[in-house]
Structure 1
Amino acid sequence: MAAIQFRVRLVAAEGPILEEILDATYAIWSEGLTRDNYARWNAAQMRTAWGKDHLRRFALVDDRGRWVASAKRYLLPMRLDGVDGVMCGLGAVFTRREERGRGYAGEIINQLIDRSRGEGATVAGLFSEIGEELYRRLGFVTVPMDEVDIEVDRKHGAPAMLVRSGEERDLPALASMHTKRTEGVPLRFALRRDPALIEYALSKKRLLAGLGFGPGPRGARQTEFFVAEEGASAAAYVVLTVSAGGWTLEEAGDRDPAGARLGAILQVLLAREPSRPAPLIRAWWPRLMPVPPQLRLTNRIPARDIFMLRPIENVRIPDRADDVFYWRSDYF
């Protein structure tokens, strides 16, 4: 690896620099959007109530005023070993093509971690699409998580339960369900998901589906959010991404310790088209999340998107899937 040739400084990626970065990264992370809609999707995420305070894109700029690397930085509230803290989430790490092999990816990661330490972060995290080796050299450790297929019992038809579309007023109930599942249990790491963070995760997926609507398999992608009520509030819910390839269960919750209402929601949704074969349903299913009696988890494998953490302060990194509670919805 060649040494860094020029001094570099960390700046917010804005204006012409941001446009160049979007041009360079469009082919990798556009998710089937047009170039204009890729820019709109990124900008809209940062304008959400949660994103405007917790999400920024940065660039490394050299002495010539030229950007050489970029990354998104998220400040995510989390709990590690019973202590509330902040995770510096790192996403879309990218080095300008002609500058690769000079260590700029590691430099921007290290500078963002140093910056986040001053903002209260005790751990840094990322999802790797390029394997583990590069990030291991930078001090990251792989955190195991599971990916599963979900089979839903359809033998007895749909239960007599009202399922409706989720709304903004349901978000506090969703946050409460998550807190109940992740506090006071033998669990080492989980996000602290408040209504604003849940709304951000939903908005990100809805924006992607809306901006990408059109011909082609990705243009048929939809985000569906359903709840079952008890009284006047949500008692169980699911968030799904529906596409030509099947369903992805992005997140779910149930006030019922056994999860029976969650299972019933999925039965109701499948009963909308009773004559069609059940779609393939995939999920990251946290091991401490109860499996509803109507569901069966099969084909368990390590999650294909590799989750890695690096300590910033004196903390221990979880090393078992049993220790982590994390939904696909919070991928960054």
Structure 2
Amino acid sequence: MPRLVVAESSHVDRIYRESYALWGAGLTRRDYLELWNEISSTPWGRKNVRFYVWLGDDDEILSSLKIYRPNLQLLGECERAIVLGAIFTPRARRCRGHAAAAVRAALDVGYAAGGRAAMLFSDIGTRYYEGFGFHEIPADEQWGPLRARQDDVPHGWTLREMEPQDLPAVIEMHDAFCAGRPFAILRDAEHWEFVRTRAFSFFQRLGSAHIRQHWRVAEGNGEIVGYLITVEGRGEWNVREVGALEGSFERMARILRLGAADAARSGLRRFYAWLPREVLEHLEDWEIRSSSRRGAVPMLLPLDGMAAIPALQVPGAAYIPYQDQF
């Protein structure tokens, strides 16, 4: 009878022979495997990340997935949740219900561990996962031309590369932002290390001279007032996350203006972002197009019968930045 078990290194290697082409984003299979080994070996990864395989009677891999266990802020309470990711079935075993069986078994794992909710990010629309009881959490994406001017830059504000000693201030700003949301993924210092390791290890292995990643802090009069995470290249300024002192949306907009002016000077001509709706109100002079997110659609499933989903399905109620995608 098929069963869900923690993957051994040989299982992961076999899965990545196929799946790296789907999710490797330009990495070689070897680099993609090494990236997994590195992030799963971080302190947060060792505690909260597991690779599972759905094995048949002959120990053949029928399907696979990863389970992450972040802390969620859910309607004012901090809860442990499970996030399903990288759900993958080998080509030879598709269309036989193996992925669905693996997902149900993984949800049983989360329920048994006391998780209050399960989450995933769908790239195949929402209908399939609605069949398991998942609900779409509205999320937006924005894009447009990058036409920043030097006079957009806040007087006395500058950007510099983030250093390890900046992390406590960055964590405090991220926590301040999350405190006002009905739904957010919380990050302690180990979770921040996991996120940073994942990002820097990926771009280091990608080794592209055309794409640059920046983790920067914004300073005003010598004091840290915010942070900005971006990926830049091929004409696009891609905003991965912005945060500000006291979770201020107005300061976030200032930081975006500062970063946009810098990006425009370097020759970038368009932007793409996942931004909170409240920040857009302070960028009224930007030409911004916005729509529901076309990929990485967040979906949530209560594991304890809670009836709070309608409150989270109000557009803008939840904000999940790129760095929280699993």
Q: Which residue of 2 aligns with 1:313?
A: 304
Q: 2:109 aligns with which of 104, 111, 115?
A: 115
Amino acid at match of 2:45: G
Amino acid at match of 1:312: L
- Secondary structure at the aligned position of 1:203 is classed as helix
Deviation at residue 148 of structure 1 after TM alignment:
1.1
For residues 182-331 of structure 1, the aligned pairs below 5 Å read 182-183=178-179, 185=180, 187-214=181-208, 220-229=210-219, 234-255=224-245, 258-272=248-262, 278-289=268-279, 291-292=281-282, 296=286, 298-305=288-295, 306-315=297-306, 316-317=308-309, 318-331=312-325
Alpha-carbon separation, structure 2, partners of 1:196 and 1:125? 21
- Number of aligned pairs? 320
Per-residue deviation, residues 4-50 of structure 1 (Å, max 9, x unmatched): xxx11111112221110111211111110111111111111111222
164-173 or 32-41: bigger deviation: 164-173
Q: Which residue of 1 aligns with 2:133?
A: 139
Contact kept? 2:250, 2:279, Cα under 8 Å: no
Cα distance, 1:301–1:197 mapped onto 2, change above 3 Å: same
Contact kept? 2:51, 2:65, Cα under 8 Å: yes
**Which structure shows the higher helix fraction?**
2
305-314 or 250-259: bigger deviation: 250-259
Q: 1:156 aligns with which of 151, 159, 179?
A: 151
Alpha-carbon separation, structure 1, partners of 2:138 and 2:114? 25
Alpha-carbon separation, structure 2, partners of 1:267 and 1:200? 28
Alpha-carbon separation, structure 2, partners of 1:58 and 1:295? 48
In structure 2, list runs of 5 or more residues that go unmatched.
none
Deviation at residue 267 of structure 1 after TM alignment:
4.0
Cα distance, 1:249–1:274 mapped onto 2, change above 3 Å: closer
11-20 or 275-284: bigger deviation: 275-284
Cα distance, 1:152–1:86 mapped onto 2, change above 3 Å: farther
Alpha-carbon separation, structure 1, partners of 2:77 and 2:257? 38
Per-residue deviation, residues 133-152 of structure 1 (Å, max 9, x unmatched): 21111111111101112656
Contact kept? 1:85, 1:120, Cα under 8 Å: no
TM-score w.r.t. length of structure 1: 0.88
Alpha-carbon separation, structure 1, partners of 2:122 and 2:215? 27
TM-score w.r.t. length of structure 2: 0.89
Contact kept? 1:287, 1:321, Cα under 8 Å: no
Alpha-carbon separation, structure 1, partners of 2:103 and 2:116? 15
Alpha-carbon separation, structure 2, partners of 1:181 and 1:157? 24
Alpha-carbon separation, structure 2, partners of 1:273 and 1:250? 14
Contact kept? 1:73, 1:89, Cα under 8 Å: yes
Contact kept? 2:6, 2:51, Cα under 8 Å: yes
Contact kept? 2:161, 2:215, Cα under 8 Å: yes
Question: 1:178 aligned to 2:147?
Answer: no
Deviation at residue 66 of structure 1 after TM alignment:
1.1
48-57 or 17-26: bigger deviation: 48-57
Q: Which residue of 2 aligns with 1:18?
A: 12
Amino acid at match of 2:151: H
Contact kept? 1:263, 1:295, Cα under 8 Å: no
